Amino acid sequence: QVQLQESGPGLVKPSQTLSLTCTVSGASISSVSYYWSWIRQPAGKRPECIGRIYTSGATNYNPSLKSRVVISQDKSKNQFSLSLSSVTAADTAVYYCARAGVDCSNGLCYTWFDSWGQGTLVTVSS
């Protein structure tokens, strides 16, 4: 059974860089069968996809965040990471890592999020 666990600072100062890591157990991030994603959710609001990474290293970012986001992977540790630069109070949210399946059998390769971490609250404040 796959488990995902977010880790990183819970408090980040404005203009600094938010850095989080997701440690995956029970599945390999080297698998061709999954995308590995970061999602955030401000209090009382809908989840927002930040971006995802595939085993090849290919990434896809939310256009609204693209200039500030980098998602990377460390296959030796079975981890993937999020870096969000120049943060403001608007970046305060619960940050989740999650897994979505890959199924290219009919052209479109996307599927739903089948596993999530428990989430970590990141507050941007001085």
Residues interacting with another protein, by CB under 8 A? 45-49, 60, 62-63, 96, 98, 100, 105-108, 110-114, 116-119
Rounded Cα distance, 111 and 102, in Å: 6
- Minimum distance between the CB of residue 40 and another protein, rounded to whole angstroms? 11
For another protein, give the closer residue by CB, 16 or 119. 119
For another protein, give the closer residue by CB, 13 or 109. 109
> By C-alpha distance, which of 49, 50, 40 is closest to 94?
40
Q: Which two tokens stand for residue 16?
A: 């600094």
- Minimum distance between the CB of residue 1 and another protein, rounded to whole angstroms? 12
Length of the chain equals 126
- Minimum distance between the CB of residue 98 and another protein, rounded to whole angstroms? 8
Query: If 0-12 CB within 10 Å is exposed, 13-18 middle and 19+ buried, where does residue 76 land?
Result: exposed
